[in-house]
Structure 1
Amino acid sequence: MAGKRIEWFWKSNDNPFSNEESAEWNRYSDVENTIIEEAFSTLKKTHVIIDDYHIDFEHRVQIANDDKTKQRPIKRVEMNKEEGGRLREARFMPNPIVPS
């Protein structure tokens, strides 16, 4: 039996609450994902603060700390560990240096 992992996403559309365009979802970073999942499943929190925004689990939204009108839907997805085969992003530099 394959193991499961949880991934959290935020809706990145220009108008995130519009149903007139295809939904575009961005993954939270590995560190953010771990913090969010721990707050949600282990600690049973109603919200969690991540840098410049906080997540309201009850309403499933991400809210900017400096402007409560800036909100985006979030979602929690259970995936097979093998699914996607993505590499942990924190292990790699965003712009690798090519040796000369």
Structure 2
Amino acid sequence: MKGVTWFWKANTNPWSSNEIEQWIPFPDIINRQIEQAYEDRQLEIVISEEYKIDLNRLLQNDIFDFGKQRPVRRCSKTGDTLTYYRRERFNFAQSIQRSITDDTLNYGCSFVTD
């Protein structure tokens, strides 16, 4: 990724100056695609079925509603960014299930007997 991370502004109202700014990095594969388009001096890149990024104005646009826009920014990787990626890697989407071997009397299976 050449030490560059792309972020999108996640605030409810991304244009409000009254809120604390919340910037979220794009997923790794999309980050690479955006950076490649930026290095190739493309004007825009489509990043999903719903969104494209205007690389001149640094805006993420909704493809179906041109009124919906969010700022994006390009930053060199810092310790904070690396910490985010570590946290994202170990943040499981699914909850950890109870082990089937909790039943130690039957070794996890009620039909196994000695």
**Structure 1 residue 19: Cα displacement:** 1.0
- Normalising to structure 1: TM-score of the pair? 0.80
Instruction: Identify unmatched segments of 5+ residues in structure 2.
Output: 100-114
The change in CA–CA distance for 1:88 and 1:34 in structure 2 (over 3 A counts) is: farther
Instruction: Identify unmatched segments of 5+ residues in structure 1.
Output: none
The change in CA–CA distance for 1:73 and 1:60 in structure 2 (over 3 A counts) is: same
Map residues 21-60 of structure 1 onto 2, 5 A cutoff.
21-41=19-39, 43-51=40-48, 52-60=50-58
AA in 1 matched with 2:28: D
- Normalising to structure 2: TM-score of the pair? 0.71
> What percentage of aligned pairs have identical amino acids?
32
Secondary structure of the corresponding residue to residue 55 of structure 1 = strand
CA contact (8 A) 1:54 1:64 kept: yes
Aligned equivalent of 1:62, options 60, 63, 76: 60
**Structure 1 residue 92: Cα displacement:** 8.0
Say which one has the larger Rg.
2
Q: In proportion to residue count, which structure has more helix?
A: 2
RMSD, aligned α-carbons? 2.5
Count matched residues: 96
AA in 1 matched with 2:37: A
Secondary structure of the corresponding residue to residue 77 of structure 2 = strand
Q: In proportion to residue count, which structure has more strand?
A: 1
Secondary structure of the corresponding residue to residue 39 of structure 1 = helix
